[in-house]
Structure 1
């Protein structure tokens, strides 16, 4: 298994992973050709410094992914944070250490870019994910909130 920064060629597999999930199945859309929204979003991620999608690859197949964003900040004496989101591991590879290895790689990447903290958000209904993150050392220290903005 290897970890690399995703390229646009990995995008269909990434979207497939996003849809292969009880929550993603209702809010994502995998079809061929891919909806332009995904292609445009990936281009914006590639353009932004410190923003990338990392994929886990086994036998030339994308088996896991996450998005890592490096966020310079003023708070906490100018602490730089790593934000992890969009974490997915293929059903066939769950429970085999892929997620933990993917996180360790992302954390190492964040440290190399000066991050002193890694943060993530997770749906309150994802109890298995919460246990996984806690096992990795994450602490549920804050409550998150979001506002969905319509561009209409």
Structure 2
């Protein structure tokens, strides 16, 4: 996992965070040697942002950490700058074991996470754009869908800026209890 800190701190193998630009970011498929680091980084991002209702004991934490399982059923992409892991996302090309809301002819974006040090510098946007590009390459794919938590306002603005629109009729609850855990859905028509 890449340590995060205030802007200007250097991370091992990467540029000082204050000089990170969009041109420094490379999007590629995760390597098996990075599974543990990406899993830890994703879990840490969700925990730090208070996105797991049950904290360290949340059952979703195990799923976030299990990059090998995700990579076996979908495409896991990472954003890097040099040797520094900035973030990751799971691209699901259609309905299947990793899809939550994708219908036939839809791809899905899941588990987008970016380190705090890389936020606001284009890593999240680059990961979402890479998923959209991949969806456009899937024969018959007509849309990209995703679920997000109501409190993820920065992510909502990113999705809307990239052309995603809210689809309230598809909002859903991943758990039977408590009933107030409703995930918002967005869709981008290709």
TM range (shorter): 0.7 to 0.9
Cα gap change, 1:69 to 1:95, in 2 (>3 Å) = same
Q: CA deviation at 1:54?
A: 0.6
Q: What is the TM-score when the length of structure 1 is the normalising length? A: 0.75
Q: What is the TM-score when the length of structure 2 is the normalising length? A: 0.61
Cα gap change, 1:13 to 1:113, in 2 (>3 Å) = same
Match of 2:162 in 1: 136
Where structure 2 has 5 or more consecutive residues not aligned to the other structure, the ranges are 1-24, 97-102, 177-190
Where structure 1 has 5 or more consecutive residues not aligned to the other structure, the ranges are 30-34
Match of 1:5 in 2: 29
| Cα RMSD for the two superposed structures | 2.9
Secondary structure, counterpart of 1:84 in structure 2: strand
Q: Could you list the per-position Cα deviations for residues 30-73 of structure 1 after superposition, in whole angstroms to 9, with x for gaps in the alignment?
A: xxxxx9x569943333332xx12110111111101111111159
Question: What CA distance in whole angstroms lies between the structure 2 residues aligned with 1:123 and 1:57?
Answer: 25
Question: What CA distance in whole angstroms lies between the structure 1 residues aligned with 2:165 and 2:64?
Answer: 34
Contact 1:18-1:28 within 8 A present in 2 as well: no
Aligned residue pairs, count: 138
Question: What CA distance in whole angstroms lies between the structure 2 residues aligned with 1:39 and 1:96?
Answer: 23
Contact 2:42-2:64 within 8 A present in 1 as well: no
Secondary structure, counterpart of 1:95 in structure 2: coil
Contact 1:18-1:86 within 8 A present in 2 as well: no
